[in-house]
Amino acid sequence: MLARARIVVERRGARTVVRELRSQPPLTLLPQRGAVASRSPAATVHMLSSATTPLGGDDVGLEVVVGPGAHLVLTGVAATLALPGQGTSGPSRLVVRLTVADGAAVQYLPEPTVVTRRADHRGELHAELGAGARLRCREVLVAGRTAEPSGRYLGLTRVVDTATARPLLVQEQELGDPTLHASGAHLAGRRVLGTEVLVWGEDPPTGLAGEWWSLSPLAGRGSLATAVGTDAVTAGRGLALAIAGHPGWAATTLTSAAP
């Protein structure tokens, strides 16, 4: 299955509006509407799966363009199950490309991806950030369903600062190797790996760490939170603890919570 989807948002006055929204099964995009949406300065779009996907051989792409000063929140609705295809269908693939203009912001928050037995899945996220652009990008990977060995997963996250044409982060992830899963440098015997990239104002001066989570400032700008857990809820709590220690994100949440 070949599918392409596209979102374009722009700022109009104090609000962000969706200018273009194009879905193609199995990826359906639904904008938030109603009173809550009308009061929010950000545009929120939900990602839904309208078919069983990704199956081996599926090729799904999502392009996101955020105009100057706009703010987009892109959220998942349910976990993704990466499943094997039939015969020699090859790996499934999901490629997400984010173009974030000067002074704009995007939060890309999909639900966890479960890599089931015999699945072979590839995931890529490419983000280009303009001057003063902000990014929050989360990925939670689950190595198999309960009592099930993990299939194969290869992932790439690449974040580039367009003002300097230099990458802020290039990171690869892998699931499916039992030796790697057992390593203390990877999953340490746990099933879930969560990461969150924050390019969102002030970064911590040094790294922070707790029980099975860490927050590390990047060499350019931005920070990387990492957490592992026995389940997605535990890993999610670890990520929440990590980003709570990020000064730029903490300042934003305090401001939004003020009366």
pLDDT in tens, 59-72: 999 999 999 999 99
Residue at 232: amino acid letter: A
Q: Which two tokens stand for residue 219?
A: 């060499």
Looking at residue 258, its pLDDT comes to 34
Cross-strand pairs, 59: 2, 93
Only one residue has tokens 């969560």, namely: 194
| pLDDT tens track for 165-193 | 999 999 999 999 999 899 988 899 999 99
Entry pTM: 0.94
Q: Which two tokens stand for residue 245?
A: 């220690």
Q: Which two tokens stand for residue 49?
A: 């799966």
Distance CA(96)–CA(74), nearest Å, equals 12
Looking at residue 88, its pLDDT comes to 64
Judged against a pLDDT cut of 90, whether residue 255 lies above it is answered with: no
- For residues 129, 132, 133 and 138, what is the CA-based torsion angle, rounded to 10 degrees? 100
Distance CA(57)–CA(122), nearest Å, equals 10
Map residue 242 onto helix, strand or coil.
helix
User: How far are the Cα atoms of 3, 114, 145 from residue 133, in angstroms, in the given order?
Assistant: 28, 30, 37
Contact 168, 200 (CB under 8 A): no
Distance of CA 93 to the CA centre of its chain: 15
Residue at 161: amino acid letter: D
The pLDDT of 6-19, averaged and rounded, is 96
Task: With cut-offs at 50, 70 and 90, classify the pLDDT of residue 214.
Answer: very high
Alpha helices per DSSP H over the chain: 35-39, 178-182, 232-244, 247-257
Contact 217, 185 (CB under 8 A): no
Say how many CA atoms lie within 13 Å of 169 toward its Cβ. 29
| pLDDT tens track for 28-55 | 999 998 877 778 889 999 999 876 778 8
